[in-house]
Amino acid sequence: MTKPIPDKAKNPQLARQLNSHIKKLRSAANKAFDQMAALTSKGSYAGVDTVRKNLAQLLTQAQCSCPNASSQPQGQAAQLKPGTKQLTRHQVAVYVVERVKRGSNMLMSTICTEIYEKFGGQAYGVCNEVLTAINTQGHNVRAWLFEGMYEPKTKKFIVPATSSMIATALGFPK
């Protein structure tokens, strides 16, 4: 999900803005890593998950808040076609997990671009949240896909886990 960096010769002001933005993000990330190191050196792992979540949010903000860059793809705002319904957060998460299962040789961000073209901007934002959740829980998602997981209601072990179960486990309930 990287954005193209402008040529310094063509737009020096934007290049300066990006450099200052990168410095701020690096200092915030270093602060988060220092907090995590301080917690683990004391033998306390209670706050590590909170620091990890803050770091994931920081990375998400970095992808969306670059100067002169929008959080949605370039071009006109996507309009829903007549007869197309708005997807819930869970449905978007299931769609993304299904696309990940398919395993095409494309970047993960292209899934969100595809969703944006089909279902509009709100689904695009949820898609980015799902990708962030998959990024932070990648080892769990891999295990759920290949080794299975317990279904919450029936307590049966299902191999492989369904996309709906994975979406719920990622924090996108029905």
Dist CA 90 CA 124 (whole Å): 13
Longest dimension (CA), the chain: 62
Dist CA 143 CA 111 (whole Å): 21
CA dihedral 85, 89, 90, 91 (to 10 degrees): 30
Q: Which residue has the higher pLDDT, 67 or 147?
A: 147
Residues in Cβ contact with 52 at an 8 Å cutoff, skipping those fewer than 6 apart: 36, 136
Of the pLDDT bands very low, low, confident and very high (cuts 50, 70, 90), residue 160 is: confident
Minimal CA–CA distance to 54: which of 70, 35, 72?
Answer: 35
Of the pLDDT bands very low, low, confident and very high (cuts 50, 70, 90), residue 71 is: very low
pLDDT per residue as tens digits for the range 123-141? 888 999 999 999 999 889 8
Read off the tokens for 24.
């701020």
Residue showing tokens 């997990």: 97
Of the pLDDT bands very low, low, confident and very high (cuts 50, 70, 90), residue 69 is: very low
Q: Which amino acid is at 118?
A: K
Beta bridge partner(s), residue 150? 157
How far is residue 17 CA from its own chain's centroid?
24
Read off the tokens for 17.
């803005």
Dist CA 140 CA 17 (whole Å): 37
pLDDT per residue as tens digits for the range 3-32? 555 555 566 776 777 777 777 777 777 777
pTM assigned to the model = 0.53
Is the omega angle on the peptide bond into residue 6 within 30 degrees of 0, that is, cis?
Answer: no
